[in-house]
Chains A and B, each alone.
Chain A
Amino acid sequence: MSTATYTIDATHLTITASPVRTPKIGRVVKAEWTKLRTLSSTWRTAVMATAISIALGTILCVSQVQQWSNMTAQQRLTFDPTSCSLFGVVFVGAVMLAALGVRSVTAEYSTGMIRSTFTATPTRRRVLAAKAGVTAAFVFPVALVADVVSFEVGQRIFTGKHLQVSFGHPGVLQAVLFGAVAVSLIAVIGVGLGGLIRHTAGATTALVLVIVGGVTLGQLLPAGLRQYVPGTALQAAVTVNHSAGLLKPGTAVVVLGVYAAIALAAASIRMSHRDA
């Protein structure tokens, strides 16, 4: 057997095999990105979520400044100008952006287009992973912009009482960054809920319950467990002044990551074992 023959064979083999051997996950991601960016509602949601997040953060900051003189010494001591300014992003912005994740799945189930998706990509968990990845990648910069603007606006408002902090302040940059990471993880939870519930209204309601309602319902839990409620963990991710009853920001992000992984895994099992 000569080396020359071997080389020719190998070349030939590579050429015939190449259309099948290309990694597929890249194609699914590209397809899901095309889907997300070609809906005008995606961009409308991004703009609305940013605007409302900033507006709500502003309102809370203004009200805090106005109440400052009535606050107790303890309240003043634990006051966190960073997390206060990011309130709009982590509560309302997170839910609005996570709804994009919900709809990326439920819109296809409710119209039946999911069948086209699954005939194009028969490996369903790949579709789900691509939806989660693309949604998170889209939500992250949006949430980051909302974080940065909300922070800046909030600190301007606090200047009057000399409460403002800057990006240079220890923990601030991390809080702003973690806020965007946490919101992206909530969006992944949205994708998971969409896959589990399949109906836009039901899955969105579940999302609101988990994020916003969970904080209230969490009050019923023992103190040690309360901090693991998703909405509370979300709040913890953006704190700078560590307060009792909240996880450390890094831990909070990890906890949200675990929730996101559980939601995706559950959705993946449900989607793979059901007829489409």
Chain B
Amino acid sequence: MIEAQHLTKRYGKTVAVNEVSFTVKPGQVTGFLGPNGAGKSTTMRMILGLDAPTSGEVRVGGRPYHQLGDPLRSVGALLDAKAIVGGRSAANHLMWLADSNGIARRRVSEVLDIVGLSDVAGKKVGTFSLGMNQRLGIAAALLGDPETLMFDEPINGLDPEGILWIRNLMKSLALEGRTVFLSSHLMSEMAQTADHLIVIGRGRIIADAGTDDFINRHTAASVRVRAVEQDVLAEALTQRGALIDHSPDGAMAVTGMDSAAIGGVAYAHAVTLIELAPLGSSLEDAYFDLTKHETDYAAAQLVGATQGA
């Protein structure tokens, strides 16, 4: 369980995290989603007591991080897989971590086994690929068999097989009743892994909902329609409460009615349909819509059309 209350972090005049409050519950994978620079890593560092909040507080398992006795037994975190001194072997790296929290050294080979690094346990970390470093970082997080796990962008730089492996690992850790908090800037990845989403943009929480709920609420399904008597149909549909967007190619994107209802209206008005195609709801679009005003470096600024925020 992670509980943040009015968590704020300022660097000079820049507000990196602004009055953020949320609860990460055990037994599910919670995705921490936001564009780069939204404040995800800063929030995670504050949870771990690495950065001091300007105001507000955050507790893990009911206590501030620095009050946890042997914190690795309560919280396991992977922040940056490359942040590691390269001259030590994988096993020795895990060994000092184990020693620091009074964790039995046999646990080192156990976690190396879990992440599939047993064969390279004696190899120097400096020779590892990014994927291997990610696995080692996850092994380090699992070392103390903690109730709470945090991973900052864990799938960055991984191949599809590695991504699938991490996804399954997160889910199984949550199934064991652990709190799993996972950050990403990739909506599609989160939709497949997380049960719950906390979306952050420009340091503010802009959504906090179950993943299914989030998808339903933010991705209105639309239907692409073309008809011979297009104007007649458009008017009829509008009267029934549908929303219509006219696309440049002459078709209409209808939201608020499904294809069956649209077909019915067309029949009632003797309209000849040319095209009637339900469009898959794009989660990526929803995320983009939700965060475009919250992105620090909005592409729109480059085009010169609108201002970012």
Q: Which positions in A face B, CB cutoff 8 Å? A: 19-22, 24, 27-28, 30-35, 38-41, 107-108, 111-113, 115-123, 275-276
Interface residues of B in 127-178 (CB under 8 A from A): 140
The reply to whether A38 and B88 contact each other, CB–CB distance below 8 Å, is: yes
Q: Which residues of A contact B79 (CB under 8 A)?
A: 115
The reply to whether A27 and B99 contact each other, CB–CB distance below 8 Å, is: yes
Q: How far is the CA of A111 from the CA of B140 in the complex (A)?
A: 16
Apart from A21-B69, A111-B83, list 17 A-B contacts with CB within 8 A: A19-B102, A24-B69, A24-B70, A27-B70, A27-B100, A27-B101, A27-B102, A33-B99, A34-B92, A34-B96, A112-B83, A113-B83, A113-B84, A118-B50, A119-B65, A119-B72, A276-B51
State how many residues of chain B have any CB contact under 8 Å with chain A. 35
Report which of B68, B69, B86, B99 forms a contact with A34, defined as CB distance below 8 A: B99
The residue on A at minimum CB distance from B102 is A27
The reply to whether A34 and B95 contact each other, CB–CB distance below 8 Å, is: yes
* A109 smallest CB distance to B (angstroms): 10
Report which of B66, B71, B85 forms a contact with A120, defined as CB distance below 8 A: B71
* A111 smallest CB distance to B (angstroms): 5
The residue on A at minimum CB distance from B140 is A116
Q: How far is the CA of A120 from the CA of B100 in the complex (A)?
A: 6
* A83 smallest CB distance to B (angstroms): 36
Q: How far is the CA of A121 from the CA of B77 in the complex (A)?
A: 13
The reply to whether B45 and A122 contact each other, CB–CB distance below 8 Å, is: no
The reply to whether B49 and A119 contact each other, CB–CB distance below 8 Å, is: yes
B82 interface residue, CB < 8 Å from A?
yes
Q: How far is the CA of A111 from the CA of B97 in the complex (A)?
A: 16
The reply to whether A116 and B49 contact each other, CB–CB distance below 8 Å, is: no
Q: Which residues of A contact B87 (CB under 8 A)?
A: 39-41
* B56 smallest CB distance to A (angstroms): 15
* B194 smallest CB distance to A (angstroms): 23
Q: Which residues of B contact A119 (CB under 8 A)?
A: 48-50, 65, 71-72, 75, 77
- Given A38-B92, A119-B71, are A275 and B45 neighbors across the interface (CB < 8 Å)? yes
The reply to whether A121 and B85 contact each other, CB–CB distance below 8 Å, is: no
- Given A27-B100, A30-B99, A38-B89, are A120 and B72 neighbors across the interface (CB < 8 Å)? yes
* A144 smallest CB distance to B (angstroms): 26
- Given A30-B99, A119-B72, A119-B77, are A107 and B85 neighbors across the interface (CB < 8 Å)? yes
Q: How far is the CA of A194 from the CA of B84 in the complex (A)?
A: 17
The reply to whether A115 and B100 contact each other, CB–CB distance below 8 Å, is: no
The reply to whether A108 and B85 contact each other, CB–CB distance below 8 Å, is: yes
B209 interface residue, CB < 8 Å from A?
no
The reply to whether B50 and A20 contact each other, CB–CB distance below 8 Å, is: no
The reply to whether A31 and B85 contact each other, CB–CB distance below 8 Å, is: no
Q: Which residues of B contact A40 (CB under 8 A)?
A: 87
* A274 smallest CB distance to B (angstroms): 9
The reply to whether B89 and A122 contact each other, CB–CB distance below 8 Å, is: no
The reply to whether B70 and A275 contact each other, CB–CB distance below 8 Å, is: no
B52 interface residue, CB < 8 Å from A?
yes
Q: Which residues of A contact B99 (CB under 8 A)?
A: 27, 30-31, 33-34
Q: For A30, A38, A118, A119, which residue has the most chain B Cβ atoms within 10 angstroms?
A: A119
The reply to whether A38 and B83 contact each other, CB–CB distance below 8 Å, is: no
- Given A39-B88, A41-B87, A115-B83, are A31 and B96 neighbors across the interface (CB < 8 Å)? yes
The reply to whether B49 and A122 contact each other, CB–CB distance below 8 Å, is: yes
Q: Which residues of B contact A108 (CB under 8 A)?
A: 85
Q: How far is the CA of A123 from the CA of B73 in the complex (A)?
A: 16
Q: How far is the CA of A33 from the CA of B95 in the complex (A)?
A: 11
Q: Which residues of B contact A38 (CB under 8 A)?
A: 88-89, 92, 95-96
Report which of B65, B83, B85, B86 forms a contact with A122, defined as CB distance below 8 A: B65
* A20 smallest CB distance to B (angstroms): 4
The reply to whether B100 and A122 contact each other, CB–CB distance below 8 Å, is: no
The reply to whether B83 and A123 contact each other, CB–CB distance below 8 Å, is: no
Q: Which residues of A contact B48 (CB under 8 A)?
A: 115, 119
